[in-house]
Amino acid sequence: MYAFHLPLRLITRASFSNYTVRADGFLSTLNQVKHTAPLLSSLEALWMAYYKWMDNDVLATGILSFVIHQLLYFGRALPWYIIDHLPYFNKWKIQDQKLPSAQDLRDCVTYVLFTHFTVEVAQIWLFHPLCEHFGLRISPPFPKWQEMLPQLAIFFIMEDTFHYFAHRLLHYGPFYKYIHKRHHRFSAPFGLAAEYAHPIEVIVLGLGTVGSPILYTAITGNLHLVTVYAWIALRLFQAIDAHSGYDFPWSLNKFIPFWSGAEHHDYHHQNSNNCYSTSFRWWDYICGTDKKYRAHRQLQAIKKLTNKAE
């Protein structure tokens, strides 16, 4: 095993014999990390050098988290924007030819960036101190995939459960009128609109995403920041894909029957009720909040068969 089991904050701030690395530039820091810790992988060395170079764990995690979020969110939304402008994919568009206008896109991007630079920045900056308090690991080595997979599965289940009930609450009277209605501006959703939401909603529903790893760390004391980033990436991809407006033959719900996907969530935006869950369908089924959705899909299937027969 590697020798870096000390908390990274100790490694980055203390003067210690074999681990002391002090350099003015990042590349110099990286070279010295590689020299003093040759067993680290290239990614682990980069990670170690970055935290050492920043010399402030909270600031380092905050900047890294914010940059990763922007790259993942807009990077994942971009392919859906391109698909919207390629006629070949129209046959898989759930709501026929309903596409966002240029004004819709401008309004969406402007507002999403506003919430990213205000509400979400605060959440990101609070995340590290909370998790570190409960024992979040940030120092190398990185966790193995055998450790990460069950943790990611638990986060998906935790977030989906929280989201279902919080989402249903946001559809109640004044909560919907003054908060959640903003997200339903687009009855035909598109990828970029996944995080188009009122600041209060961003905070409330964000608790499921950010709170799941915090709670898990508080209970187990065993979680690495790299796993958290993997979780955030998967959660963002899921949310953006669910708002894409497309249902392909190769979509995940065709292989995992209980996966929600765009076909499930699109109905929610069309009708503003039913289908409240995010990743999985089981809470809607258990609570009976997918009956209209299932009846609608059955009717669609019957019409499709009738048209074929004619």
Give the pLDDT band (50/70/90) at residue 106: very high
Query: Is the pLDDT assigned to residue 83 strictly greater than 80?
Result: yes
Q: 87: burial class by Cβ within 10 Å (0-12, 13-18, 19+)?
A: exposed
Give the per-residue pLDDT at 309: 59
Task: Give the mean pLDDT of 47-66.
Answer: 91
Q: What is the token pair recorded at 18?
A: 């074999």
Question: CA dihedral in degrees (38, 39, 45, 48; nearest 10)?
Answer: -100
Closest CA to 69 of 222, 228, 246: 228
The predicted pLDDT at position 19 comes to: 44
pLDDT digits (tens, 9 = 90+) for 134-192: 888 999 999 999 999 999 999 999 999 999 999 999 999 999 999 999 999 998 999 99
pTM confidence score: 0.88
Q: What is the mean pLDDT of the chain?
A: 88
β-partners of residue 137 are 224
Tell me, what's the pLDDT at 10?
Answer: 37
Which pLDDT tens digit goes with each residue over 272-286?
Answer: 789 999 999 999 999
For the stretch 198-225, pLDDT in tens is 999 999 999 999 999 999 999 998 999 9
**Distance (Å) of CA 266 to CA 2, 84, 94, 275:** 48, 15, 8, 9
User: Is the pLDDT assigned to residue 5 strictly greater than 50?
Assistant: no
CA distance 208 to 163: 6
DSSP 234-302: HHHHHHHHHTS-B--TTSGGGTSTTB-HHHHHHHHHHHSSS---SSBSHHHHHHTTTHHHHHHHHHHHH
Domain chopping of the chain, boundaries: 1-55, 56-309
